[in-house]
Structure 1
């Protein structure tokens, strides 16, 4: 990334690595069975996550077609004031220059909110 550090993604169940930098939990709920010490979370930005309504809707049917709609709806949510404040906080962390690792408990990371969030943050970094 041209504006500061880089954004990485890891599952909370993986051990912390030296290159993780600031670890930001991007899930609404604390991951089951993970002690806070082991998770090594520096920030927990709950407002980066999809709304409860959107998350429930997507979990009803995780088909590829529904995922595409989920992405569109989540992108729209990221533009609302609550999400914007959290995105601004995250982009500020990335701009500080060190790596920022987004940490999640989701099993299927490629079909979750995380890649959409990474793309949105990278867009914000390059267009603001």
Structure 2
């Protein structure tokens, strides 16, 4: 695939329940379901990319169980390999236009969640 001359974005992850900060840059919610108890104004998002989140079946199967983390990562990465998902990720990187991208998620577990997997995949796609 030819490389574009687009600027590289730094990609971060952050819980939805943490305050938005200017250094977050382009904020994208990457959950299929809106985080409980939060309003749209509170989250201060640039985009909600629910379709980049794991599919419903995978999300329910995982249930944020650390014992399923390795298998979850493999399955989610497989979902992200589809041409549709690749296009969504390229579009997200283009929309950010070199700004920092902060992937916002609602899970309590800061080590075992989809945003971490998506961060890794996006970083690779971004040439990082």
TM-score tier after normalising by the smaller chain length:
0.7 to 0.9
After TM superposition, list the pairs within 5 Å mapping 1:7-86 onto structure 2.
7-59=11-63, 62-64=65-67, 66-86=68-88
State how far apart, in whole Å, the 2-side matches of 1:85 and 1:71 are.
20
The match for 2:126 is 125
The runs of 5 or more residues in structure 1 that have no matched partner are none
Displacement of 1:92 after TM fit?
1.8
Deviates more, 1:102-111 or 1:78-87: 78-87
TM-score scaled by structure 2? 0.87
**Can you list the C-alpha shifts for 1:65-110, whole angstroms capped at 9, x where unaligned?**
x21111111100001233223212222234x111111111111121
Deviates more, 1:13-22 or 1:79-88: 79-88
CA contact (8 A) 1:20 1:99 kept: yes
Q: Calculate the aligned-residue CA RMSD, in Å.
A: 1.7
Shift >6 Å, 4+ stretches: none
The match for 1:87 is 89
TM-score scaled by structure 1? 0.87
The runs of 5 or more residues in structure 2 that have no matched partner are 1-6
After TM superposition, list the pairs within 5 Å mapping 1:104-115 onto structure 2.
104-115=105-116
Count the aligned residue pairs: 122
Displacement of 1:47 after TM fit?
1.1
